[in-house]
């Protein structure tokens, strides 16, 4: 720990400095760190001792330039224009966290960028990253189009939440989760269960969730009902409006399976405002496992994807693209978290 600014400018030590001190060639120093098996134990120890004495660390820049290995995964979080970072769906932040952790375990750095309207960042052309993971709101069509094109011409892009099927994606077991949620509602005695969602949304997962819901309903001899939402609104507002029109309608409803937690949170708010008791008058289940769903009133029963596995799967996908490894099937398991919004 040499104090800097104490007079000595103290040049960063290089492999040459270490070589001199250890009495070996510069290439031997390099090999000691990049390919230690090639070096005899005795020599290796001398080099390591010298490196420690000088506080030497391999310069990433030199190493990467020469070896053409970047060692970086870029993570792009697609947002909506005009929406500040603090309002980004917390689910995406949590996913970002698990991606960064998984990357780190695989020996990659993560270059994170939040993009709304300007999708520049020529990661490959500028050799800044070996691969790109794209996550974020499905709604920013322009953003996804951009990465879809890149994906077509360069295969090192993996994504979560893409509206397009022809990209390298990783997804929740949406149908399975929806099925679990619906079966849970049926077992709890609800019968007039409506799905608050959309089949034509760019959010393909909404369709998959609706299908899982339908299967479970039909197997129980019940009729699935889709109550469509206005996908141009903010999620919570979709939930509020959805409930408002449901309550005005003729059809009896005793439970709501919402296509995502944010919609469910809005729905809970509207139900509370309308004086409806949850879970007594109406059961509600969401999908995503947002942090906020633990503190809603009442706390929301939801389907939660295993985010650790999701992050790992995305990183694995990139590695597979980079060096032809085998990739596991890209469906991430989910689990049902039963809270107080259902009986």
Partner DNA sequence: CTGAAAGCGCTTACAG
Interface residues with its own copies (CB under 8 A) are 1-5, 12, 55-62, 64-65, 70, 72, 75, 77, 84-88, 90, 93-94, 96-98, 100-101, 104, 109-114, 122, 125-128, 149, 152-155, 265, 268-269, 272, 289, 291-298, 307-308, 311
We find the least distance from the C-beta atom of residue 65 to DNA, in angstroms, to be 4
Q: Residue 113 or 199: which CB sits closer to its own copies?
A: 113
Identify which range of 53-61, 207-215, 219-227, 230-238 contacts DNA by CB under 7 A: 53-61
Residue 78 CB-density burial (10 A; 0-12 exposed, 13-18 middle, 19+ buried): buried
> What is the rounded distance in angstroms from the CA atom of residue 95 to the CA atom of residue 292?
15
Query: How many other C-beta atoms can be found within 10 angstroms of the C-beta atom of residue 38?
Result: 11
Sign of CA dihedral 321, 327, 330, 336: negative
Q: Residue 55 or 187: which CB sits closer to its own copies?
A: 55
> What is the rounded distance in angstroms from the CA atom of residue 116 to the CA atom of residue 142?
9
We find the least distance from the C-beta atom of residue 61 to DNA, in angstroms, to be 6
# residues contacting DNA (CB under 7 A): 33
Name which of DNA, its own copies, none residue 128 binds, using a CB cut-off of 5 to 8 Å depending on partner kind.
its own copies
Residue 325 binding DNA, by CB under 7 A: no
Instruction: Tokens 């709101």: give the residue.
Output: 137
CB 268 within 8 A of CB 296: yes
Q: Residue 53 or 113: which CB sits closer to its own copies?
A: 113
We find the least distance from the C-beta atom of residue 149 to its own copies, in angstroms, to be 7
Q: In this structure, what token pair is assigned to residue 133?
A: 């993971």
User: DSSP readout, 284-314?
Assistant: EE-SS--GGGGSSSSPPBEEEE-HHHHHHHH
> What is the rounded distance in angstroms from the CA atom of residue 284 to the CA atom of residue 292?
15
What residues line the site for DNA (CB under 7 A)?
11-12, 14-16, 24-28, 30-31, 33-35, 37-40, 42-44, 56, 58-59, 61-63, 65-69
């Amino acid at each position: 720990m040499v104090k800097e600014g104490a007079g000595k400018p103290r040049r960063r030590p290089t492999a040459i400095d270490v070589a001199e001190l250890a009495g070996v060639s510069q290439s031997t120093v390099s090999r000691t760190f990049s390919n230690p098996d090639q070096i005899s134990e005795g020599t290796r120890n001398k080099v390591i001792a010298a490196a420690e004495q000088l506080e030497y660390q391999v310069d990433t820049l030199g190493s990467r330039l020469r070896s053409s290995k970047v060692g970086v995964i870029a993570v792009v979080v697609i947002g909506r224009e005009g929406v500040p970072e603090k309002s980004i769906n917390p689910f995406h932040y949590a996913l970002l966290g698990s991606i960064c952790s998984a990357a780190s375990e695989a020996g990659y750095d993560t270059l994170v960028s939040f993009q709304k309207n300007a999708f520049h960042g020529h990661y490959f052309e500028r050799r800044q990253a070996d691969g790109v993971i794209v996550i974020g709101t499905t709604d920013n069509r322009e953003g996804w189009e951009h990465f879809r094109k890149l994906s077509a011409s360069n295969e090192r892009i993996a994504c979560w939440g893409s509206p397009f099927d022809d990209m390298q994606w990783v997804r929740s077991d949406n149908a399975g989760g929806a099925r679990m949620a619906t079966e849970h509602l049926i077992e709890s005695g609800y019968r007039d269960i409506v799905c608050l969602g959309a089949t034509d949304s760019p959010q393909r997962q909404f369709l998959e969730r609706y299908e899982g819901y339908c299967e479970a309903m039909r197997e129980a001899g019940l009729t699935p009902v889709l109550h469509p939402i206005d996908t141009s609104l903010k999620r919570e507002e979709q939930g509020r409006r959805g409930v408002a029109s449901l309550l005005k309608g003729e059809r009896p409803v005793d439970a709501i399976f919402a296509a995502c937690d944010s919609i469910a949170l809005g729905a809970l708010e509207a139900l509370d405002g309308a004086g409806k008791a949850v879970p007594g008058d109406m059961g509600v289940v969401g999908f995503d496992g947002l942090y906020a769903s633990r503190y809603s009133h009442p706390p929301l029963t939801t389907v939660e994807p295993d985010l650790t596995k999701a992050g790992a799967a995305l990183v694995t996908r990139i590695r597979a693209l980079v060096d032809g490894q085998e990739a596991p099937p890209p469906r991430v398991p989910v689990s049902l978290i039963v809270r107080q919004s259902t009986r």
